[in-house]
Amino acid sequence: MRSNGKIIGIIFAVIIAVAIIKYLGLLIIAGGLGYWGYKRSQNAKRENQKSKLAIVLFSLAGIFFLAFIGNLTNVKQQEANKAPTVPAKVEQTSAEPTTVKPEQTSNVVSTSVSKEETASEQPKHIPITLIAGTDGDTFKATVQGKEEKIRLLLVDTPESVKQGTPVQPFAKEASAFTLKQLKQGNLSLELDVSERDKYGRLLGYVWVGDNMLNEMLIEKGYARVAYINPPNVKYVDQFKEIQATAQKSGIGIWSIENYAQEDGFNQEAAQKVTTKADSLKNDSNAKESKPKVATPKDEVVQSYSESRESSSNVYYKNCSAVRAAGADPIYEGEPGYSRKLDRDGDGVGCER
């Protein structure tokens, strides 16, 4: 019993020593225990006995020696890891929930792109070639030798080709604008995190040279910011700022009260404008028999009711008037376009 008490006392002493001593302390303890064990084994040999204490001491010496080697390795690793690291910059974007159209609620397919790669890599622009336009926010193009249908991310233009839905205000204008830009060539597609929707369409931001088509549609008042479905929200904050400016200016879809809303385009508001436009047209036909009085041509701001009748009903005295109305640059076929505003004859008037 006395021998066991000594062993327990030694073990407690060793534990305390381990807690206090680091680095070389472990090696010193291992050496001390080894030497003690050696002396005990020599005394036991002289008495022709086996010393259990010597075996315990040798075992503890070996354990402390191994602990010393392991501790030495850990210290070297800690010193190597002290080099400063620059954390990857993570861009935080806010995603606001919005009610979306059933046919365009997309179950996006996630791609295996790590956060480190997303933060460090520059946006990749894939060259594309236009095949045909569909509407304001969809078109067909050749992408890496394959025909693809491309849907512009984070924007929504009025419907012009959807079955069962009448042509909505500014739908044709948006389609014409998109096709006009795409025909300029030098097109590229920038993908976000998820590449496709549940219909198999490629989702992305389309660049015409150095200008983004998604952004231009919002800026001109032909599209609203919509379908905010994370993780594809790279430019959502930027788009919302541009939309706020277009709303304030009251151009395009924002010229009709309560038309563009968070859940889509208000068909009732559009119907009121259509009815008013037809009424104005009938009044105009009734007045044709009366003598016309010449009046000075004033600067006119484009509205949907005017554009439905004829582009000749919208008149801009000069490019200053076009810019004041927020309609620059003005494209051939748009209300108010005239050859005198397009001196170089390229179909785009009042270019800056």
Catalytic residue ranges: 151, 159, 201
| CB 223 within 8 Å of CB 156 | yes
Q: Are the C-beta atoms of residues 51 and 44 closer than 8 Å to each other? A: yes
Per residue, what are the HEC states of the chain?
CHHHHHHHHHHHHHHHHHHHCCCHHHHHHHHHHHHHHHHHHHHHHHCCCCCHHHHHHHHHHHHHHHHHHHHHHHHHHHHHCCCCCCCCCCCCCCCCCCCCCHHHCCCCEECCCCHHHHHHCCCCEEEEEEEEECCCCEEEEEECCEEEEEEECCEECCCCCCCCCCCCCCHHHHHHHHHHHHCCCCEEEEEEEEEECCCCCEEEEEEECCEEHHHHHHHCCCCEECCCCCCCCCCHHHHHHHHHHHHHHCCHHHHCCCCEECCEECHHHHHHHHHHHHHHHHHHHHCCCCCCCCCCCCCCCCCHHHHHHCHHHCCCCCHHHHHHCCCCCEECCCCCCCHHHCCCCCCEECCC
Phi, psi of 104 (to 5 degrees): -115, 10
Closest CA to 231 of 47, 34, 100, 90: 90
Token pair of 218, please?
């919002």
